[in-house]
Amino acid sequence: MAKNTAPKAPENAETGSARSTGPRQRRSVRREAAVNAAFQLAEREGPAGLTMRKLAQELDVDVSILYRLFRDKDALVLALCERTIEIELDEIGDVPEEETWQDTLRRIADITWAYQNRFPAITLLSFARTTGGPAEQRMVELLLSTFERAGLPPTQTVLFYRTFIDTALGLCAHSASLSSLAPEDREKDDSAWTRVYSHLSERHYPATVRHIDDLTTVTQKAIYTAAVEAILSAAEHAVTEHLETERTTRSERTDKA
């Protein structure tokens, strides 16, 4: 799968301008058709292209119709966010019995990276939002139960779950932001390291000069992986500490008795 999950492709989703050709039962557009079209629009034109007007045009209806499907643009964005999580859950599938909690989280992190970067426009608009919808609910349950398998104390289970997901989405948003800059801004950003940082004086910026090669080659994905691994390790260590505290407490209690 993976290749074309987003558009479950309703009536005329594949052709950009499906104005007079298709069958004419496209009166009163359904929410799902709007969401699908929004995904295509977002993928094709980036965050600046995802507007209510263009979406209406894509669906060949007046823009005011959209406002009966979604209270406002924010509601549309939340629906897109929900759908993204749905796709990710689909791709994650069932968690195999023998998979460690670490590997489950690594797999979730990879899939999240893939889809959040495939739709940078949606990521940027929703990475810090809570939808409260069914897909998000299932994702929360999946992540929490996975962190529970680690054997952390309750407060830490929640703290690490939130640290994991917020960090992951924050770094996805970082990457999405870069990949959806206007071409010229993009160039300005990309070239900064070679354009300005390669020419700093060794006298005033010795560390920068020493590391210039690595600075120009490190990738956002490598950074993402490093952050995810750091959080997994931290969770592992918290488990170890927790077990040690428990053992100590128990032996103290035994001592008393």
Partner DNA sequence: ACCTGAACACCGTTCAAGT
Residue 163 to residue 156: CA distance in whole angstroms = 10
For 11, other C-beta atoms within 10 Å of its C-beta total 14
Q: With contact defined as beta carbons under 8 Å apart, do 38 and 84 qualify?
A: no
* DSSP annotation string for 103-154: HHHHHHHHHHHHHHHHSHHHHHHHTT----SHHHHHHHHHHHHHHHHTT--H
Binding partner of 61, given a second copy, DNA, none, CB within 5-8 angstroms per partner class: DNA
> Can residue 48 be called a binding residue for a second copy (CB under 8 A)?
no
| Window 96-135: residues binding a second copy (CB under 8 A) | 127-132
> Can residue 20 be called a binding residue for DNA (CB under 7 A)?
no
Q: With contact defined as beta carbons under 8 Å apart, do 36 and 30 qualify?
A: no
- 19, 32, 44, 74: which one binds DNA (CB under 7 A): 74
Binding partner of 166, given a second copy, DNA, none, CB within 5-8 angstroms per partner class: a second copy
Closest CA to 86 of 122, 137, 126: 137
The residue range among 26-34, 59-67, 109-117, 174-182 that interacts with a second copy, by the rule CB under 8 A, is: 174-182
Give whichever of 58 and 82 is closer to a second copy, judged by the CB atom: 82
Q: In the bound complex, what is the minimum distance in angstroms from residue 167's beta carbon to DNA?
A: 29
Residue 128, classified by CB atoms within 10 Å of its CB into exposed (0-12), middle (13-18) or buried (19+), is exposed
> Can residue 67 be called a binding residue for a second copy (CB under 8 A)?
no
Which residues fall within 8 angstroms of residue 73, CB to CB, at 6 or more apart?
52
Residue 76 to residue 121: CA distance in whole angstroms = 13
> What residues make contact with a second copy under the rule CB under 8 A?
74, 127-132, 137, 140-141, 144-145, 148, 154-155, 157-160, 162-163, 166-167, 169-171, 173-175, 177-178, 182, 185, 188-189, 192-193, 195-197, 200, 204-208, 210-211, 214-215, 218, 220, 222-223, 226-227, 229-231, 233-234, 237
> What residues make contact with DNA under the rule CB under 7 A?
27-28, 49-54, 61-65, 67-68, 72-74
